[in-house]
Amino acid sequence: MLKVGLIGCGGIGTTVHIPAYNMLDNIEVVALCDINESKFKDVLADLKNKPVCYTDYKEMIEKEQLDFIDICTPNYLHAEIAIYAMEHDVHVFSEKPDTITVEKAMMMKEAQERTGKHLMVMRNNRHRFSSKELKQKIKNGEFGDIYAGRCGWVRRRGIPGKGGWFTTKEQSGGGPLIDLGVHIIDLTMYLMGNFKPVSVSGSTFTKFANSEEADSVHSSFGDKIDGGSFDVEDLAMGFIKFENGACMQIEFSWASNIAEEKTFIELRGEKLGVEWLGDTYEIFDGTESKASAVKKEKARQIKNTKNGHLENIRHFSAVIEGKEDPDFVMDQGVNMIKILRAIYKSAETGREVLL
């Protein structure tokens, strides 16, 4: 059994990670850590065993014989905790985003290389059945050269933890771009071949800081604080160019006057195109002939616990056990944070940013 210590007993840890561990028979949650002791009660009720509880992650790492930690804290703490754990001979799995600055991402990469420990940041959308199936088709050459992509996650009214750390730039690093963008930009890049980004341009807007409306289940994440900070964007749009000449349009919002919430990826290939919508996708060849075998192909509907989170954690455990090669390396995390920070810089300056 692999022994894990979960750090951060908030929404993502309790509603996604804990249920995943309960379904995996090769991992045992032996320790919990949160600065708020009141959060332990519900987590303990959901676990088969009774882990030791801590309010100091350093104490937990030093006292427990852990194989790895699972970081589910606010974004600004990811790098600090990950580096400390690796320097104390513990592998690290962390919720996204990797961290909030390029400098901290580079520090995480250096610590991983120096210590030789495994470090993986949640990339759960890569582990959806639909994503895996689509990736295999792309590998098989069915799409030809994929030269352009368009992706986004747009909500009507879905601001998480308003007034809390989600909407406080110092702790979150930004709004929907860093919260949602890391998911879908990563998957789009992964499907396109993970080529190195070379330049970005973008714009950000904050138009709903005073709105109290909510119609998305995702608005329940995070603790709301009346009168708290809201110094991040609620909409980000941008454009990314890659070293192979391909490009990508992006759009991410917590709140927008649109028809419905939607998560999507569109890829343009020389042979085929595709629209990915989560658990399903449609493939197009550009003809109007209904006889075409590939004009419109729907992937099978699947039930993959919490959108691939379970499979991502299972994959990380297999990496630790030496059974699988990691599908994520920290260079990809560094490139992701470079993209996000450069889009924010472009929005501030009104200029394209070279990477």
- Tell me, what's the pLDDT at 294? 46
Determine the Cα–Cα distance for residues 131 and 136; give it in Å rounded to an integer.
9
Would the CA dihedral through 65, 71, 77, 82 be positive or negative?
positive
- Nearest CA to 192 out of 145, 238, 153 is that of 145
**Whether the Cβ atoms of residue 53 and residue 61 lie closer than 8 Å to each other:** no
- Partner residues linked to 50 by β-bridges: none
**267: pLDDT strictly greater than 60:** yes
Name all domains of the chain by residue range, CATH numbers in brackets: 2-121 (3.40.50.720), 126-301+334-354 (3.30.360.10)
Q: In angstroms, how far is CA 232 from the centroid of its own chain?
A: 18
Closest CA to 8 of 112, 101, 162, 122: 122
Helix axes 330-349 and 181-192, enclosed angle (nearest 10): 120
Judged against a pLDDT cut of 50, whether residue 301 lies above it is answered with: no
Quick one: which of 266, 284, 262, 263 has its CA closest to 275?
Answer: 266
Which of the four pLDDT bands, split at 50, 70 and 90, describes residue 303?
Answer: very low
- The pair phi, psi for residue 329, each rounded to 5°, is -125, 155
Q: Alpha carbon of 331 to those of 44, 110, 220: distances in Å?
A: 36, 10, 32
Higher-pLDDT residue of 221 and 330 is 330
- Cα–Cα distance, 9 to 48 (Å, whole number): 16
Strand partners for 33: 7, 54
Is 60 exceeded by the pLDDT of residue 331? yes
pTM here is 0.94
**Residue-averaged pLDDT of the chain:** 93
Phi, psi of 100 (to 5 degrees): -115, -5
- Mean pLDDT is lowest, of 46-50, 267-271, 319-323, for 46-50
pLDDT in the model for residue 287: 73
| Buried b or exposed e, range 286-306, using 16+ CB within 10 angstroms | eeeeeeeeebebebeeeebee
Band the pLDDT of 106: cuts 50, 70, 90: very high
For the chain, the helix, strand and coil percentages under 3-state DSSP, each to the nearest 5 = 40, 25, 40
Report d(CA 248, CA 180) in Å as an integer: 16
pLDDT at 218: 84
